Amino acid sequence: MQARMRVTKLEEAEYLLKRSRRFYETATMQMDRGFHDLAAFSLEQSLLLFLKSSLLKLGIDFPRTHSVRRLLEMQHEITGDERIKEVSHMFNVELGALEDAYIMSRYVARDYNREEVERFKKVVEEVTRVVGEVVG
């Protein structure tokens, strides 16, 4: 009988953060190759995993959701830090479009252009910067 391995929340958070970084790097490579639809998906996954990792660092189990806006809302509710609320409101439209990128990549043929994906990338960078400063 094989022993079950127990993973702490901090270990799971580090694993998700590592995967988040890999999705971000993958998105950059996909952008360089002109695979904008895949880059949009990878950027959404990068942000989603980063936000879930941040919740775990705060000691909170994350919900099973693909809504980056809901995860940001939870971060604000838990920390009370207005910077998270501000970045969420500032990029609400782009965050919604990133959520759509997840669905589109799986079920609907949708092309993205370089400008759209560059904007997504900047949003992901800014959101991760702000949340990273708050959560640590």
Confirm whether 4 is domain-assigned: no
Q: What is the CATH number of the domain that holds 16?
A: 1.20.120.330
pLDDT surpassing 90 at residue 105:
no
Q: Is residue 55 part of a domain?
A: yes
> Structural domain of residue 131, as residue ranges?
10-135
Mean pLDDT of the chain: 92
Provide mean pLDDT across the span 100-115.
81
pLDDT 10s digits, 5-58: 566 888 999 999 999 999 999 999 999 999 999 999 999 999 999 999 999 999
Asked whether residue 5 is domain-assigned, the answer is no
- Give me the percent of the chain exceeding a pLDDT of 90: 79
Can you tell me the mean pLDDT for 106-119? Answer: 86
Q: Reduce the secondary structure of the chain to three states and give it as a string.
A: CCCCCCCCHHHHHHHHHHHHHHHHHHHHHHHHHCCHHHHHHHHHHHHHHHHHHHHHHCCCCCCCCCCHHHHHHHHHHHHCCHHHHHHHHHCHHHHHHHHHHHHHHHHCCCCCCHHHHHHHHHHHHHHHHHHHHHHC
Q: pTM to 2 decimals?
A: 0.91
